[in-house]
Amino acid sequence: MLASPWIVDVELAEQLRLCRSQNDWDSVASLYERLQWHQPDSFPLALNRSSALWKADRPLEALPVAERARDLAPEEPLGWRGLGSVLKDLGRFEEADAAYGRSLELRDDPATRWSRAQNLMGLQRYGEAFTWGEARLELHNPPPYRPAPYWLGWPEAEAVTVWSEQGFGDVLQYLRWLPQLAVSGKRITLEMEAPLVSLVREGMGWCLPAGTRILPKCLPADAEAAAPAECQGSLMSLPLLLGGDPAPLIHQAHPYLKSSRWQQARRLRNGRRVGVVWAAGHQREDAYLVREYIKRSLPARPLRQLLHGLLVRDLEIVNLQIGPDRDQLPGWGGSFSEELPAEADFAATAELCSQLDLVISVDTATAHLCGALGLPAWMLLPWAADSRWLRGRRNSDWYPTLKLLRQPSHGDWQGLITLVMAHLDLWCADQALR
């Protein structure tokens, strides 16, 4: 006896709830596909299915579904925004910008403006990207570290408080604007995540004026009362605040994290020491962050192939991985010549990286750190890479010492490791000649 349609809907709804709670977006997409068989002209079902496919990192499959959702309801802004996100993942940045633009014509939304800003980075339209990017401060998931008003009294203010936001990689990337702020002559207070404090104190000391305070973030429970009286705002707002298209600044003062201690550490190089980071930041509280962690991190098999390839080339492997993925090396029988202490902060990581001849890292904060330090590093990128790394480029304007190695096709980690081995053979030959 067949269940009634109402019972089937209740069962599917429960399955959807369970799969969403587990961030099982492949199953969510399959469930929405089943529902679409019964309601092929439903805009919400098409939109939800395309979103699930996107969250499952299946942009090629998501594209026709997102286009179908847009065609079913061309006056719905969410359909255009969803299409823009899929096109951005496919590296079709021009088309994505048009989709985001149409969504904003239909309804202004800070989430859409923020998405458009990230896409504009891929088009190297940096001035526009940083203008649109201020929309992130209107979003409240999570809320900004300090509440508005921001930059009150700028530029006449004699003192400023600048605080970090987003991930560690973003903070490391945007530290490059501190030297320009420093020449303004203002008294500067920096509020950073605790693991960054020692790094910034040592690595930015060459440009920050005497008396600069660099403090770990620590707000009272009542965040509304936490806005300082002086001019204050986000580190990521500095490019826009300091005026003009920031592109020329990218090439100035490199490396911008530097100290004599790290320079001395480079003397310990022997031409054979390679540091490895195989997993991105492991966060489970947000579907997007889970997606990025899975997309950017090396699965077990290609990780074993990478480590084995380093061993057979008689290279010393240094474990730079932190977090819960640090000890997850199933089936690998080798050992590391050295390991970054589990409790190490970014200053300790900088010191160890300075002693290495090469760092091979997935798209995570360690790669940004090496770039900011001016150290040789290779970043292993998924096919649908972050827009800041542009399209098809092997180099990065942000970090001249960083080499970008990309999956040849979507999800092809095996092909990427094969590419890494070819580059490694050339690198070993070059080291032998030195």
**269/297 same-domain check:** yes
Looking at this protein, which amino acid is placed at residue 425? D
Query: Which residues span the domain enclosing 237?
Result: 159-251
How far, in Å, CA of 75 to CA of 361, rounded? 43
The whole-number pLDDT of residue 253 equals: 63
The whole-number pLDDT of residue 289 equals: 85
How far is C-alpha 399 from the geometric centre of its chain's CA atoms? 15
**270/240 same-domain check:** no
**320/382 same-domain check:** yes
Report yes or no: 129 and 117 within 8 Å, Cβ to Cβ: yes
**384/265 same-domain check:** yes
Is residue 131 one of the residues assigned to a domain? yes
How far is C-alpha 82 from the geometric centre of its chain's CA atoms? 20
Type and span of the H or E element at 158: none
* Nearest of 171, 195, 228, 178 to residue 340 by alpha carbon: 195
CATH of the domain at 60: 1.25.40.10
Is residue 426 one of the residues assigned to a domain? yes
Instruction: Point out the domain boundary residue: 251, 278, 307.
Output: 251
Is residue 145 one of the residues assigned to a domain? no
How far, in Å, CA of 54 to CA of 66, rounded? 9
The whole-number pLDDT of residue 433 equals: 84
**125/79 same-domain check:** yes
Is residue 152 one of the residues assigned to a domain? no
Three-state DSSP class for residue 156: coil
Written as tens digits, the pLDDT of the chain (434 aa) is: 334 444 457 888 899 999 998 989 999 999 999 999 889 999 999 999 999 999 999 999 999 999 999 999 999 999 999 999 999 999 999 999 999 999 999 999 999 999 999 999 999 999 999 999 999 999 977 788 998 999 999 999 999 999 999 999 999 999 999 999 999 889 999 999 999 999 999 999 999 999 999 999 986 545 554 555 689 999 999 999 987 666 666 666 679 999 999 999 888 888 899 999 999 986 666 788 888 999 999 999 999 999 999 999 999 999 999 988 988 887 787 889 999 999 999 999 999 999 999 999 999 999 999 999 999 999 999 999 999 999 999 999 899 999 999 999 999 999 999 999 999 999 999 998 88
**326/385 same-domain check:** yes
* Nearest of 299, 296, 420, 419 to residue 364 by alpha carbon: 296
DSSP H helices in 237-364: 238-241, 260-265, 287-296, 300-312, 346-354
Is residue 52 one of the residues assigned to a domain? yes
How far is C-alpha 62 from the geometric centre of its chain's CA atoms? 22
Looking at this protein, which amino acid is placed at residue 364? T
Domain total of the chain? 3
How far, in Å, CA of 250 to CA of 133, rounded? 18
Going by their DSSP bridges, the two strands 316-319 and 338-339 should be labelled as: parallel
The whole-number pLDDT of residue 2 equals: 39
**182/300 same-domain check:** no
* Nearest of 396, 392, 391 to residue 377 by alpha carbon: 396
